[in-house]
Amino acid sequence: MADILLCPVCNDSYNHIYRHEIYPVLGTRKYTIACGVFDVNYDKKAFGVRGFTFETYYQCEGGHKWMQTHQFHKGEVFVETEVIDARDSYDEDDFMDDIWRD
Ligand SMILES: [Zn+2]
């Protein structure tokens, strides 16, 4: 069974993944996967992460940018959605590169 994610701003079902950020437990590093990018960097935010955390970044075809966090902590998974940019800003030049395009 699969669900289709909807943009939290406009309910559009056409959402493009353009970035993943991964924070291991008790780490000091962040792993980033994006179009043409696989990086491992020191990141201050990693100190505050209480469980293994995945952040997935989306942009709907209306231009809204949002992210969803999955955080594992003591046997439970917390899912949080955050709107990054709610402006209607679809523009070919502004559109993020999907991960699958590289
Ligand atoms: Zn949207």
Summarize pLDDT for 2-55 with one digit per residue, the tens.
Answer: 999 999 999 999 999 999 999 987 778 889 988 888 888 887 776 767 788 999
Stretch 64-70: mean pLDDT: 94
Judge whether 99 and 26 are in contact, CB under 8 Å: no
Ligand 1: distance of its center to the CA of 48 in Å? Answer: 29
Residue indicated by tokens 């999955």: 70
Q: How far is the CA of 43 from the centre of ligand 1 (A)?
A: 29
Domain boundaries, the chain: 19-57+72-84
* pLDDT higher at 50 or 100: 50
- Say if residue 56's pLDDT is above 90: yes
Q: How confident is the model over 65-71, as a mean pLDDT?
A: 94
- Cα 58 to averaged position of ligand 1 atoms, centre (Å): 10
Rounded Cα–Cα distance for residues 69 and 73 (Å): 12
